[in-house]
Structure 1
Amino acid sequence: MARAVTQEKPSPQTRASDPQVVPHLFPAPAPAARMRARHHGVLFAFLLLVLAPLVTLGGYLWLRAADQYASTTAFSVRSEEGTANLGLLGGLALLGGSTASDMDVLHDFLLSQDIVAAVDARLDLRAIYARDWPRDRLFAFDPSGTIEDLHRHWHRQVRVIHDRSAGLITLRVTAPTADQAQAIATAIHEEGSRMINDLARAARIGATLSTEEELTAAQDRVRAAREAMTLFRARSQIIDPQADFQGRIALIHMLESQLTEEMVTLDLLRGATRPDDPRIAQAERRAEVIARRIAVERGRFGGSDPAGTGDRPAPLAAGDPVMADPGMAGDGSPAAPDDGGAMDYAHLMAEYERLLVTQQFAEEAHLAALAAHDLAQAGARRQARFLAVHVRPTLAERALYPRRWVILGTAGLLLMAFWAMGVLVYYSIRDRR
C-alpha cells in the first residue's frame, strides 16, 4: 500500500523569509499619492467655477441687494344669484353666463400690461422699484426702461397663484418698503374690482340690449296700430263699429216689428171698412215709411248693388202698394235715401276687424317684449359680479426677500453640478486615450 505523501505548509516565518513565495502571494504596496498637474487643474477649476462665483454672489446679496417687503392678499369673484319670476312669461329661460371663467379672465388681467400701466399711473411704479438703482442692478428697476421693461419687472415682483379647483387667487407683491408693497397690493385689488365691474356692466348691457330693441319695435307697432285705428274712427265717425252694428240690427228688428203691426192693422181696416176710408191711406203711408227705412238700414250692410236691384224686403201681398220697392221712386229710378247715403257696413266691419286684430296682436307682442325686458334686467341685476376679498393686503414687519440663503444654495448646487460634469467629461476623455 502506497504511502501518502504529505506536504507541510510553510510557516509564517518561511513566508516572510522566502523570496520566491512572498512576491507571488502579496504584491508590493503602492507608492505614496502625490498631487499631479491634473489634480491642480481640477482644484483650480473648483475655485474658479464654484467658490469664486459663490463668494461674489454672497457678497452682492448681503452687501448690495436691497431688502424687499412682501404683502399678500387673496380674493375671488362672486356673483349674486337669485330665482327668476317666470309667472308672466313662464317659458322664458334664465340669462346665461359668460363662456369663459371670470377667474381666468382676472388672472390674465393681473399679469397684463394694462394693469401695470394703471398701477404705474396711480403709484408711480418706476420710482418705487428704481429706488435702489444703480446700487442694486440685479433686483432694482432701471428707470430709463420702457413700459415693456416695467411689465417684465412686474412679473418678478408680483406673483399670482390661481387655484382653479377652489376658484381663488392669491397675490404676493414685493416692494422696497412695507407700505409700498401694501399700497401696490391694494391698487391691484381695486383695478381688478374695476375690471370685474366693467365685465358685469357689459354683461348687463348685452343681456338687455336685444330685449330693449324688441321692446322698441313692439312699441312702434302698437303706436302705428293705434294711429291707424284712430284714423279709421275719424273717417267713419264711429267709435265702435261692433256696437253700432248691434244697435242697427236692433233698430231693424224694431222697425220690422212695427211694420208687422202696421200691416196687421191695415189688414184689419181693409176687412172692416170701406176701401176709401182715410185710415187705410194713413196706415199704408206709415207702412211705406217703415218699409223704406228698413230697406235703407239693410242697405247699409250690403253696400251698393251692381245689378241695381237693391236690398228689397220680401213682398207682403200681391198688388199691395206698400210692397212696391221702397228703394225705388215712382218712375222706377232709385230713390235717394233720407240720411245722406247708405254706408257699406260689410267693408267697414272688415276693415275694423283687421285693424282690431292688428292692434290686439301688437299689444300682446308689446306686453311680451316688456316682460322679457324686465326679466332680462332683473336677471342682469341678480348676476352682478364683484370681487370678494377674504385676505386683505397685509403689512409686513420684516423683509423676507430676496431669499439670500435660498439663492446662494441654489447657485451653489448648480455650480457644483456644472463643475462635476466638467470633471467627469475631462476624465472620460482622458481614459479613452
Structure 2
Amino acid sequence: MLPAPRPAAPLPRAPQPAATPGSARLRPRHRGAMWAFALLVLLPFAALVWYLWAVAEDQYASVTSFSVRREDQASPMEMLGGFAGLSTGSSSDTDILYEFIRSQDMVARIDAKLDLRAMYGRPGPDPVFTLPADATVEDLRDHWQRMVRISYDQGDGILELTALAFTPQGAQQLATAILEESTAMINDLSAAARADATRHAQDELDRAMARLQSARAALTGFRSTHQIVDPEADLQSQMGVIDTLNTQLAEALIELDMLLQATTAADPRARLRQDKIAVIEARIAAERGKFGAGSGGEAYATVVGEFERLTVEREFAEQSYLSALAAHDLARAEAQRQNRYLAAHVRPTLAQTAEYPQRLRIAALAGLFLLLGWSVLTLIAWSIRDRR
C-alpha cells in the first residue's frame, strides 16, 4: 500500500509595504480640507466675482487737485529791492480744509446743491455701492466718505480729490461743487483773519474819531455861547482900539498944553480940549474894563483860557486821529499781505471710462485673503486633530 501524499506547502506571500503611522487618516483629512476650501474660498470668491461683474454699478471718477496759498505782497522796503512772491499757505489751513471736506457740513452744502440722495440712489440692484432711499444724514456722510476720496501731500500742502458718481457728468459736477465750497470756506477764513488783524486798529480809529468830533463840538458850542469866533483875535482888536485911543489922548494933551501957553484955562477952547481929554480917558477906562469881563459878565481871561483849553484838546484829538488812521492803514496793509486763496492746480476732469469699482483689484485681494484664511483654519484644525 502506497503512502498518502503530503499536502503541498503554501506558496510564500508577496512582501507587503510597511504601514506608515496615520496613513488611515490621510484621506478624511484631505477630504475635509477640500470641502472647507470649496465652502470658504471658492464659493465666496465666485459670489464676489459674480457681484462685481454682474451687479455692481460702474462708477466714474473726476479728479481735481488744489492747495491753499497765501499772497504775500511786498512791503515798501521789499518793493524797492524787488522782492515779492507767493508763498504756500500754512499747513493748518490745509488741515482745516481737509477736515471740512470730510465733514457733515460739506455734505449738507453739496446735498442742497446736487441732491446726493438722488445722485447716489440705486439705478440698479446694487446694495453695496448705492445709497438706500431712506438713508439718514449719518448714512449719507458715511457714503460720502467712501465716494469722495482725498489724498493729502503734507510736504507740498496739495490736496488731490477724487469724486465718484454713476455718470461722468455727475462726478464732474460733484468735484466742481466741492471746489466751489472749499473756495468759499477759504475766503471766509481769509476775511475773518483780516477782520481780526484790523479789529484793534479799527477800534482805536473809532475812539479817535469820536474824541475829535467831541472836541470840535465843544469848541463850536463855546463860540456859539460867547459869540466869539477867536478870543485871541478879538483881544488883538481891542488892544488896537486902546492903542488908537492912547494916541488920540496924547494928541489932545499936546493940543491943550499948546493952547494954555497962549491963553488961560478959562478960554472956551481950553475947556473944549479938557472935555475931549476926559472923554478919551473914559473910553480908555471902559475898553480896559472889557479885559476883566466878557460879553456875559464872565472874566475875559477865563474866556480866553477856556478857548485855549478847547483848542488844545481839538489839536490833540486831531493828532490822535491822524495816528490812529495811519495805524489802521498799516494794519489793513499787513492783513492784505496775508490774504489766503484756493489755487486749483487741476480742474475737475470729465471721465470717459468707468474706473471704479476696481474689480480685478478687489477680486484679487479678496481671493488672497480667503485663501490665507482657509490655510490658517486648516492648519489649526489639523493641529488640534493631531493632538487628540
- For the criterion TM > 0.5, the same-fold answer is yes
Alignment of 1:17-416 (within 5 A): 31=20, 35-83=26-74, 101-133=92-124, 135-207=125-197, 211-212=201-202, 214-264=204-254, 266=256, 274-303=264-293, 344-374=299-329, 383-416=338-371
- Partners in 2 of 1:419 and 1:225 — Cα distance? 91
Most deviating of 253-262 and 42-51:
253-262
d(CA) in 1 for partners of 2:176 and 2:90?
Answer: 29
Counterpart Cα distance in 2 of 1:48 and 1:341: 115
Q: Which amino acid aligns with 2:164?
A: T
Residue-by-residue CA offset, 1:266-295 (whole Å, 9 max, x unaligned): 555556654444454444333333333332
Stretch of structure 1 that moved more, 247-256 or 137-146: 247-256
Q: Displacement of 1:178 after TM fit?
A: 1.8
Residue identity opposite 1:103 in structure 2: T
Query: What displacement does 1:399 show?
Result: 1.7
Decide whether aligned partners of structure 1 residues 238 and 116 sit closer, same or farther in structure 2, where only a CA change above 3 A counts.
same
- In structure 2, what is the Cα distance between the partners aligned to 1:242 and 1:207? 45
Residue 179 of structure 1 and its aligned partner are, at CA, apart by 1.9
Secondary structure, counterpart of 1:302 in structure 2 = coil
Give secondary structure in 2 for the equivalent of 1:301: coil
Q: CA deviation at 1:407?
A: 1.4
Which whole-Å deviations, capped at 9, do the CAs of 1:176-235 have from their partners, x for residues lacking one? 222221121112112222222333344455555555555454444433333332332222
The 8 Å contact of residues 299 and 342 in structure 1, kept in 2 or not, is answered as no
Share of identical aligned residues, percent?
A: 48
How far the C-alpha of 1:355 sits from its partner, in A, is: 1.8
Gaps of 5+ in 1: 1-27, 87-97, 305-339
Matched residues in 1 for 2:90 and 2:213: separation?
38
TM-score by length of 2: 0.79
Q: For residue 15 of structure 1, what is the aligned residue in structure 2?
A: none
Q: Which runs of 5+ in 2 are unaligned?
A: 1-16, 78-88
Q: Which amino acid aligns with 2:126?
A: D
Alignment check: 8 A CA contact 2:265 2:271 kept: no
Q: 1:415 to 1:342 in 2, by over 3 A?
A: closer
Which amino acid is the alignment partner of residue 351 of structure 1? Answer: E
CA gap of 1:258–1:101, structure 2 versus 1, over 3 A, is farther
Cα pair 1:74 1:169 within 8 Å, conserved? yes
Query: How far 1:348 sits from its partner (Å)?
Result: 0.9
Q: 1:362 to 1:50 in 2, by over 3 A?
A: same
TM-score by length of 1: 0.71
* Counterpart secondary structure, 1:71: strand
C-alpha distance in 2 between matches for 1:352 and 1:341: 15
- Which 10-residue stretch deviates more, 258-267 or 352-361? 258-267
Amino acid at match of 1:249: M
Superposed displacement of residue 349, structure 1: 0.2
Higher alpha-carbon deviation: 394-403 or 145-154: 394-403
Residue by residue, what CA displacement relative to the aligned partner does 1:45-78 show, whole Å, maximum 9, x if unpaired? 3332233222222222222222211111011223
Decide whether aligned partners of structure 1 residues 127 and 371 sit closer, same or farther in structure 2, where only a CA change above 3 A counts: same
Structure 1 position 151, deviation (Å): 0.9
Q: Against the structure 1 CA distance between its residues 41 and 230, is the aligned structure 2 distance closer, same or farther, given a 3 Å change threshold?
A: same
Distance 2:245 2:329 in 1: 55
Amino acid at match of 2:95: D
Greater helix content: 2
Q: Structure 2: how far apart are the matches of 1:150 and 1:167?
A: 28
Name the CA shift for 1:157/1:232 in 2 (closer, same or farther; >3 Å).
same
User: What is residue 13 of structure 2 aligned with on the other side?
Assistant: none
Aligned residue for 1:156, secondary structure, equals helix
Cα distance, 1:148 vs structure 2: 1.3
Corresponding residue number in structure 2 for 1:328: none
Task: Output the aligned Cα RMSD.
Answer: 3.4
Decide which structure has the larger Cα Rg and report it: 1
Aligned-partner residue type, residue 400 of structure 1: E
